[in-house]
Structure 1
Amino acid sequence: MKTIGIPWPEFNDGLRYNDVVSPSNSGVSLIQFYSSNHPSSAPLQGWLQRIHNGQITIDGDTVTDPNIVLRVGSKLVYHRLPWSEPETPFLLEVLYEDDDMIVLNKPSGLQVLPGGLFQQRTVLTQLKWHVNKNENSTPSQLHPVPVHRLGRGTSGVLLCAKTKSAKARLAAYFADGTSLVGSKMTDSEIGEERRITKIYRALVKGIIDTNEVLINKPIGIMRYPGVAKGLYVALPSGKPALSKVRVLERDMEKNQTLVQVQIQSGRPHQIRIHLSLIGYPLLGDPLYVAGGQPECFDSELVEEEFAEDGGYQRPTKPVPGDCGYHLHAHEVTLSHPTTNAVMKIIAPLPPMLKLDQEAN
């Protein structure tokens, strides 16, 4: 088994956020600019703290006066200080690799792309490090990138392109499949027209009586504390989403069901949302617990509560990146982006998601 991965350093490199003062912001103070243009990053007092810390420059000069007046065209840079990111796996099993792509078995707990607290500890970072230490890399292999996402708590098959042409082709496969959703397709037709098919394993709370369930419900975005871009939930006004669920095993004693899920679309958190929508949330899911939405929306950010770096404290309510559920991208069948040969890639199952006969 080939693996890639380098242990994470204790601290990341921090971040730099760039802004250019527009005509509409000319004449406002530095603190007014940041508190009004980036309120989701920090409250007013947090931005004052960052300015006093010398974390902001104007045209290359460090500024500590929050009341300095800005001029149009000035370049502002906010330096987010390095921080220790939460504990995260770093080893990635390679399931398949050629000149066009590398397919990984992503572990639960590892984020695919940078976001939130995880700016360095991501799959993308490990791919970059892998290429940089590989002396045999050719120019076409210099920028491997994931072409789709798996939730941080989701494990399994992750497709990554090595070349621009492979990235474009694989991305088109996912886009084509999503575009089919909403068309009049029979149960047996799901997946037949696709150049890529994804099959997941999941463990849900409760006993699903019927052997197969087809869930065709849209998914949209709602405002939610601590999630700046909003939370994906089951929403009638959302985008079409289709999931086919098949029962594999029922455990009456533990009141849980092992299922296989084939998704026609690829909306964020689709399987978690759809299964909770029909009354069977993923076992251990801290967020989606009932009706395809979080349990409650009643918490709000309090402006006076901010973290050491001036930003908001971590939300007390669960957020999408929280782990604890059991979901695994088990199989992906696709047409190779260059040869068009049909190939099936399988990621070994975690123990919790194996059938009794598979576990023996």
Structure 2
Amino acid sequence: MIDPFDDIEDVTDDGDELDNQSEKFEHYRFVADKGQGLMRIDKFLSVRIEGISRTRIQDAADANCILVNEIPVKSNYKVKPCDIISIVMDRPRREIEIIPEDIPLDVVYEDSDLMVINKPAGLVVHPGHGNYTGTMVNAIAFRLKDSPEYDAKDPRLGLVHRIDKDTSGLLVVAKNASAKAHLSAQFFNKTTKRQYLAVVWGQIESDSGRIEGNIGRSVKNRLQMTVFDGDQGKPAVTNYKVLERLGYVTLVQCELETGRTHQIRVHMKHIGHTLFNDERYGGDHILKGTTFTKYKQFVQNCFQVCPRQALHARMLGFVHPRTGEKMIFETPMPDDMEQLLDKWRKYTSNRES
């Protein structure tokens, strides 16, 4: 049996060079009976999960991996009748069955070793808590179902990095173990090139800059990452360049030197420029501008045009694992972000005139 708690120590601080993954993956779920008497949750779980000690369960609770009715609880929580208890992690359970599904993929490059995919916003990358089907991994499994080398259940194959569900842009997928090892090493050694486009709130003073700050999971809100002073968290570096100033928002280009969870979203908020319509970090509120009713309506229209954080992985560069060729891929800005920028250009032009 695979112990689902092997990776608990990584939950509070994921710096495994994945660009993304804000979703939690559900490993276990229990529903307490209607006649359930009050019982500490560590005892409740220890008699229901084979081979798991109460100490391990307590560690999981301390890492906010045990949820009751979607809320993290500590190990002394008393289970009540009809409680819905979930054990969640930041990575998928190894036993999750990957079902091939015929979901369209925008493949910008493919050969016998790898694929580069342009992921649309709204597509979850990997099956997990609340998203067991309909993900990009399910789509990849369908596309490669006849490939003798590809096995969706083999961790040595597949995704080399990830981006958030509501971030669009480029991802590379390894089709064999050798390609996965070679590409993973490039991400780990920070030799890849990753460039993003983002629309952020406010006017950034400098035309370019470098943001350095350790990133780790927030102690106040476990769904958020944050920048820490000192040694807490893991080192993260984002370089940015202003491309266009549009009144109360700015279009920026960001290049990653590291790949921490929510890195651009967290770093830009840290310097006072939260991503536009980034619900998790407060960008879905009016952070800059006027109090006029027409302006408020304009911004609400912008939120509807681009109903997600305005972030796009535009460029991806790496060395081909077999040929040694330097490869650079670019993809245009998606329509929702283009429409968002057009609205702000018109608004800014009207104000100036």
Verify same fold: TM over 0.5: yes
Q: For the residues of structure 2 that align with 1:164 and 1:239, how far apart are their CA atoms?
A: 28
- Answering whether residue 47 of structure 2 is matched by residue 33 of structure 1, we say yes
1:239 to 229, 234, 238: 234
Q: For the residues of structure 2 that align with 1:351 and 1:176, how far apart are their CA atoms?
A: 33
Aligned length: 241
- Answering whether residue 68 of structure 2 is matched by residue 42 of structure 1, we say yes
- What residue ranges of structure 2 are gaps of 5+ in the alignment? 1-25, 30-41, 70-78, 86-95, 97-101, 288-306, 346-353
Match of 1:215 in 2: 211
Contact 2:68 2:84 (8 Å CA) reproduced: no
Of stretches 34-43 and 91-100 in structure 1, the one that deviates more from structure 2 is: 34-43
Percent identical pairs in the alignment equals 32
Match of 2:254 in 1: 261
1:157 to 156, 170, 173: 170
2:149 to 140, 145, 154: 140
Q: 1:31 to 1:141 in 2, by over 3 A?
A: closer
Q: Deviations over 1:293-321 (max 9, x none)?
A: xx9xxxxxxxxxxxxxxxxxxxxxxxxxx
Contact 2:114 2:173 (8 Å CA) reproduced: yes
Which residues of 2 match residues 189-208 of structure 1 at below 5 A? Answer: 194=191, 196-208=192-204
TM-score with structure 2 length normalisation?
0.61
RMSD: 3.2
Give 1:42's aligned amino acid.
V
Give 2:150's aligned amino acid.
Q
- What residue ranges of structure 1 are gaps of 5+ in the alignment? 1-14, 19-27, 51-79, 81-88, 178-193, 296-322
Shift of 1:30: 5.8
Q: 1:115 to 1:46 in 2, by over 3 A?
A: farther
Give 2:204's aligned amino acid.
I
Q: For the residues of structure 2 that align with 1:49 and 1:353, how far apart are their CA atoms?
A: 39
2:316 to 324, 332, 335: 332
Give 1:198's aligned amino acid.
R
Shift of 1:91: 2.9
Contact 1:258 1:353 (8 Å CA) reproduced: no
Of stretches 33-42 and 328-337 in structure 1, the one that deviates more from structure 2 is: 33-42
Contact 2:182 2:321 (8 Å CA) reproduced: yes
Give 2:235's aligned amino acid.
P
Q: Which of 1 and 2 has greater Rg?
A: 1
Partner of 1:245, secondary structure, is strand
Q: For the residues of structure 2 that align with 1:210 and 1:241, how far apart are their CA atoms?
A: 20
Q: Deviations over 1:155-199 (max 9, x none)?
A: 10011000001001111111001xxxxxxxxxxxxxxxx2x1000
Q: 1:210 to 1:29 in 2, by over 3 A?
A: closer
Q: For the residues of structure 1 that align with 2:234 and 2:139, how far apart are their CA atoms?
A: 32
Shift of 1:31: 6.1
Q: 1:33 to 1:278 in 2, by over 3 A?
A: same
Q: 1:148 to 1:16 in 2, by over 3 A?
A: closer
Q: Deviations over 1:264-308 (max 9, x none)?
A: 000000000000100000000112239xxxx9xxxxxxxxxxxxx
Of stretches 230-239 and 212-221 in structure 1, the one that deviates more from structure 2 is: 230-239
Match of 1:248 in 2: 243
Match of 2:278 in 1: 285
